[in-house]
Amino acid sequence: MADQGRTAGRARGGRGRRRAAGAVLAALLCATACSAPAGDVPDTTARDIRATLDRRAAAVLHHDTDGYLAVVAPDATDLRTEQRKELGRLADMPIGSWTYRLTDVSPHGADRATADVRLGYRIKGYDSAPVSVDRVLDLERVDGRWYLTADRPAEGGGRQLWQQGDVEVVRGTHSLVLGVGRSRDELTGIAATADSAVPAVSDAWPEKWAGRVVVLVPDTVQDMAELLGSPAANYRGIAAVTTGETGGSGTAPADRVIVNPQAYALLGEFGQRVVLTHETTHVATRTRTSSATPTWLSEGFADWAAYRAEQRTAAEIAPELAEAVQRGEPPAALPTDEDFGFGGDADRLARAYEGGWLACELIAEHWGEEKLFAFYRAVGGHSGRDGAVEQALHEVLGTTPQDFTVRWREYVADRLG
């Protein structure tokens, strides 16, 4: 998608048709614990709430159940029960860091407050920087100490995987798969497919990247939607999405590939391999993808990488666009960002993905793969969307938007006619 922090993948099913995978949520970097401003509240209040959160974070890292529950208000029985379950579910996850950053405090009298916090956690061996989650906490002060009375997602957020049920952990060669409500055999199969995707992406993308991927497998599409903070209807029939912050800062948090187990299971081995390779490509290209990158390029390149070593004809890869060409209705222009909207016409969406793939195929075939890489970097490195593609076309490929569009239309007709 066009917005900073968004990317998309897609699923394929039925007659080889593909369906777009969804938008994602931006994950903002949180590097330190409890050091942010806390609004117009007394310094002692913010300091004491930070101390409570620091004790809670230390308890997670030490798997200290008593310490974790010690910051919960004694009469918050339901919260205490839920918190005990959550800490138990985190036990098998390789947590490398766990911090809370206090961003705002709203007092309600002298002894009650609501705090906005940013939870930052890092999976050891996989995340180079923390993934961040915004939470809202209610607290009360008893005998000079602050205790939690409620813990909920911030607006637009949802439950985390470990809040949805017991977490099963499968470690692959290049992957870590975390699942809830799914069999170990299923998760092991997903890890094997992800393990094959990582070297395929490394072959297709010349720059150094983490070379590993974290895959989340919730129990249902509703649970998947909760992780993404969006309606479940957005993800029905969608096999996987990738979350992360785009941009070239080099400090973007690690991505998560989130699988919709129902849609993913409908795919054959080929479709599953292509989907996870596509999503892993987004992980690898994250720091070179920005708000300047049009969706046709980010999604087209991910498809190009996923299909690069597959023995499939263009018509097999792009069936919807092939049908349109054969009906005498070839595309007039490159897909727009709006064409990738997954809540609308599925055929239009499929044609958008296919058109983006063929645009990247054209660059790789006519100008060469090195030029495709350079073009991707040049577009993503531009200061903004305006002029990004035009400048890269001129400086990298020596062409214009008009000429490139004509070449692309001819290429589509030639490959699919």
Paired sense of beta strands 112-123 and 240-243, if any: unpaired
Pairing of strands 256-259, 213-217: parallel
Show pLDDT as tens, one digit a residue, over the chain (417 residues).
322 233 344 444 333 333 333 333 222 223 223 333 444 556 789 999 999 999 999 999 999 999 999 999 999 999 999 999 999 999 999 999 999 999 999 999 999 999 999 999 999 999 888 888 999 999 999 999 999 999 999 988 888 999 999 999 999 999 999 999 999 999 999 999 999 999 999 999 999 999 999 999 999 999 999 998 888 888 888 899 998 655 444 444 568 999 999 999 999 999 999 999 999 999 999 999 999 999 999 999 999 999 999 999 999 999 999 999 999 999 999 999 999 887 667 889 899 999 999 999 999 999 999 999 999 999 999 999 999 999 999 999 999 999 999 999 999 999 998
Whether 249 contacts 271, CB under 8 Å: no
User: What is the per-residue pLDDT across 152-177, written as a single tens digit (0 to 9) for each?
Assistant: 999 888 889 999 999 999 999 999 99
Burial (CB count <10 Å: 0-12, 13-18, 19+), residue 52 = buried
Tell me the whole-structure pTM to 2 decimals.
0.85
Q: What residues does each domain of the chain span?
A: 10-25+163-416, 43-156
pLDDT of residue 34: 37
Which strand ranges, in their side-by-side order, compose the sheet holding 240-243? 167-171, 175-180, 213-217, 256-259, 240-243
- Residues in CB range of 320: below 8 A, 6 or more apart: 17, 347, 350, 351, 354
Question: Hey, do 10-25+163-416 and 43-156 end up sharing a CATH topology, with the first three levels equal?
Answer: no
Separation CA 21–CA 358 (nearest Å): 19
Q: What is the fold, at CATH topology level, of the domain defined by 10-25+163-416?
A: Neutral Protease; domain 2 (1.10.390)
How far is it, in rounded angstroms, from Cα 23 to Cα 157?
14
Per-residue pLDDT tens for 320-339? 999 999 999 999 999 999 99
Query: Is the separation of the CB atoms in 103 and 92 below 8 Å?
Result: no
Show the beta-strand stretches assigned E in 219-354: 240-243, 256-259
Residue 3: count of CB within 10 angstroms of its CB: 13
For residue 207, the tally of other CB atoms under 10 A from its CB is: 12
Q: Which residues contact 356 (CB under 8 A, 6 or more apart)?
A: 295, 296, 297, 299, 300, 301, 303, 334, 335
Task: For the chain, report the end-to-end CA distance as a whole number of angstroms.
Answer: 29
pLDDT at 315: 96
Residue 299: what pLDDT? 96
| CATH of 43-156 among 3.40.50.920, 3.10.450.50, 1.20.1730.10, 3.40.50.300 | 3.10.450.50
